[in-house]
Amino acid sequence: MNHTNQLAKELLDSFVKLKHTERKMNSLMAKSNPSVAYLLMIDHLAATKEVTIKDIKDEMAATHSAATQIVNTLEQLGYVHKKSHELDKRVVVVEISEYGLEIIEETREHMNAHMVQLVSYLGEDDAKTLSRIIEKMIGFCEWPQGEEHEKKEK
């Protein structure tokens, strides 16, 4: 096995381990409430536009039915409310409620506290390196499939 293939295997093994720890991190970040993770996703989408159920479906790569169920659950919890789109009454717009905004703020404070602990554990240099590598991975994953990726030096 050549060096590049060995590194790829090691990287894959690390990603598998990371995926297993993701559940634990998610429960810490969202206070063991999976609905909060969806609320944070809607908040992220709402930063740039009015959010529809279709937007949520597309972001989750899920069915329209699954996205609708999630929004209904969030609505029952009081995190969001739905309204008809002004121009197309068939389109459902999802807005975060005041209570939902409070939950988002509390969750962000909670998440920040955990990130402070992570920075302390990693040290400043490793935390900066990790952040840079994550951003680089995001850039790699956003390339259209089938195109060659060039190594980018920073």
The rounded distance, in Å, linking the Cα atoms of 47 and 63 is: 23
Establish if 25 belongs to a structural domain. yes
Let me know: does 139 contact 131? Beta carbons within 8 Å: no
| Residue 71: domain span | 16-141
Token pair, residue 41, equals: 């996703």
At 16-45, the pLDDT tens digits run 888 878 767 766 655 557 788 888 889 998
Higher-pLDDT residue of 152 and 131 is 131
What pLDDT does 145 receive?
65
Residue 136 has pLDDT above 70, yes or no: yes
Establish if 107 belongs to a structural domain. yes
Domains held by the chain: number: 1
The rounded distance, in Å, linking the Cα atoms of 45 and 58 is: 11
The rounded distance, in Å, linking the Cα atoms of 132 and 130 is: 5
CA-based end-to-end distance of the chain: 28
Query: Which of 20-24, 46-50, 65-69, 127-131 comes out lowest in average pLDDT?
Result: 20-24
Establish if 10 belongs to a structural domain. no
Establish if 103 belongs to a structural domain. yes
Secondary structure (3-state) at 80: strand
CATH code assigned at 69: 1.10.10.10
What pLDDT does 27 receive?
64
What pLDDT does 150 receive?
60
